[in-house]
Amino acid sequence: MGTPKQASDDSSHHEPATRQRRPGGRSARVRARVLEAVGELLLEAGYDGLTVDAVAERAGVHRTTVYRRWRDVGTLLADVLDAASDDNWSPPDTGSLEGDLTALNQEVYEALAHGGPHLTTALIAAAFRSPEAAEALSAFWEDRYARCAAVVARAADRGELPGPADSRALLVAATAPLYHELLLLRAVPDPTLPHRAATATAAAARADAFRPATPPRPQATPDAAPDPACPRP
Amino acid sequence: MGTPKQASDDSSHHEPATRQRRPGGRSARVRARVLEAVGELLLEAGYDGLTVDAVAERAGVHRTTVYRRWRDVGTLLADVLDAASDDNWSPPDTGSLEGDLTALNQEVYEALAHGGPHLTTALIAAAFRSPEAAEALSAFWEDRYARCAAVVARAADRGELPGPADSRALLVAATAPLYHELLLLRAVPDPTLPHRAATATAAAARADAFRPATPPRPQATPDAAPDPACPRP
């Protein structure tokens, strides 16, 4: 879930027979090329290597087009994260709270636990440099956590929880140890961590550790309406 | 616990009557002045404003002295963190696991949950720029977690835990949500978070959620010897 994917030009990849229709149009294709260039440059040279001119050159787009539409590096980074949110990602549905949390954590682990550069890590580092990137990264994660409320709602529906649970607190408890160990503590990646953190959080949830403060948050009650941000639960 | 304190020249502050003895000597006083200058510049101008020359000027120390002893900015940052580890900090002892974890989390919260610049946040951001700072920050935190193993050992001694617990996993579970919410998600600071995260983790521990993988890690067993890194438990 913590893995913003690289933007790509879907119009040419997925509809070759109707290429002349240009779904999304020229503007969408320029955006895809520019955002792909931002990701590439960020991975190759980090935030310091990211300039509007370098992005324009890499994307093969006139620099005034990039300046007019994005203005600066912060806006470009924010748009990478906006584009990454604009997908149909939904949390895994494995049939158990422990299984769903393990699968979520596995996604986070794969984004953070490797030696080489990765867009997620590069964007998190960039967020410490650019307020616009920081704000967009927060929005990206808030959207992911909102979609993941479905994981807690399903657990409640299955009777896995003793009562209402604060879904955000539960989800943060499950995923935060991965970010903490891999990104901040820079511990040697432990492939058992996704499952261990999920198991501990599921046990805590069964022990009513995420009982909401009074009054309960609406989305945390087991009979709450489905989260509208999660159209494919 | 996540709060490296600013180095200061203790020789002049605490022993005015014996100032002529110069405890620690000239070299120790130069180090204290230089490390204090590093912290000040990092807070004022961030990593980009941190140069060896600026540090020398701020500290009132000849630049060749700084270059000879510290070489570069990465080494200076690493020494700030080394100096911060060289204290007699020990985890709070409140008489209960929940109380100890809440007090620990309160320290983290106070370091991270404010609008203005703070040395902890500045050092974490610098660690995304400098491998030396990253390594030193990891070592600082590992030392803190090792000292905090006493919190889990005391809980076990009091019979608060149903069996052996992985103290590191328990401590990371308690503290990670604070770093995640305040530093990565940049959520609006919630003053109930330190206590909520502590309560959830203590409940999880009572539910045996941190049972160690086989074989148990030595420091996690309730009858383990006191942690030698924690002389004042």
Tens of pLDDT, residue by residue over A83-96, are 998 889 999 999 99
Mean pLDDT of A52-56: 96
The answer to whether residues A184 and B178 touch, using CB atoms and an 8 Å cutoff, is no
Distance from CA of B67 to the nearest CA of A (A): 25
Which residues of chain B fall below pLDDT 50?
A: 8-22, 216-217, 219-233
Of the two residues A178 and A20, the one the predictor is more confident about is A178
- Cβ contact (<8 Å) for A177 and B181? no
What pLDDT score does B50 carry? 95
Q: Which of residues 175-194 of B touch A (CB under 8 A)?
A: 175-177, 179-181, 183-187, 192
What pLDDT score does B177 carry? 97
Question: How many percent of chain A have pLDDT more than 70?
Answer: 81
Structure-token pair, residue A83: 């584009």
The answer to whether residues B189 and A137 touch, using CB atoms and an 8 Å cutoff, is no
Mean pLDDT of A67-79: 95
Structure-token pair, residue B161: 């835990």
What pLDDT score does B1 carry? 67
* Single-letter code of the amino acid located at A147: R
What is the per-residue DSSP string for chain B?
Answer: ---PPPP--HHHHH-GGGGGG-TTHHHHHHHHHHHHHHHHHHHHHTGGG--HHHHHHHHT--HHHHHHHH-SHHHHHHHHHHHHHSS-------SSHHHHHHHHHHHHHHHHSSSS--HHHHHHHHHTT-HHHHHHHHHHHHHHHHHHHHHHHHHHHTT-SSS---HHHHHHHHHHHHHIIIIIS-PPP-TTHHHHHHHHHHHHHHTTTTPPPSSPPGGGSTTPPPPTT-S--
- Cβ contact (<8 Å) for A203 and B204? yes
Among A94-108, A159-173, B199-213, the least confident range: B199-213
**Residue B28 contacts A where some CB pair is shorter than 8 Å:** no
What pLDDT score does A51 carry? 95
- Cβ contact (<8 Å) for B204 and A204? yes
Domains of chain B: 10-85 (1.10.10.60), 97-220 (1.10.357.10)
Ramachandran assignment for A71, one of left (phi > 0), alpha (psi -120 to 50 degrees), beta (any other): left
